[in-house]
Amino acid sequence: MNLNEFQPLVTWLQENERSKSWLARHIQVSPSLMNLMLSGKRTMSEYHKNSICYVTEMKLDELFPG
């Protein structure tokens, strides 16, 4: 995944004044793993994507259009 594929998620975090660390806590991963996933250095699992959708109350295709 490239960084543009995470843009809707990054935008959501900014608009809701939330940090990547906040999101990491809520999906029960370390902040370093969250950074690796958002940088594209680690593949984000479907489980993590679905967890993020649950936390943000957004649909999968809205947050991860790619």
Helices (H), 1-66: 7-15, 20-26, 31-39, 46-56, 60-63
Can you give the pTM of this predicted structure?
Answer: 0.89
Hey, CA dihedral for 27, 19, 21, 11, is it positive or negative?
positive
Residue 18 near residue 52 (C-beta atoms within 8 A): no
CA atoms within 13 A on the CB side of 52: 28
Q: Which residues of the chain have pLDDT under 70?
A: 1-3
Mean pLDDT, all residues of the chain: 92
Hey, where are the domains in the chain? 3-59
Regarding the domain delimited by 3-59, which CATH topology (the fold level of the hierarchy) does it fall under? 434 Repressor (Amino-terminal Domain) (1.10.260)
pLDDT tens by residue, 25-38: 999 999 999 999 99
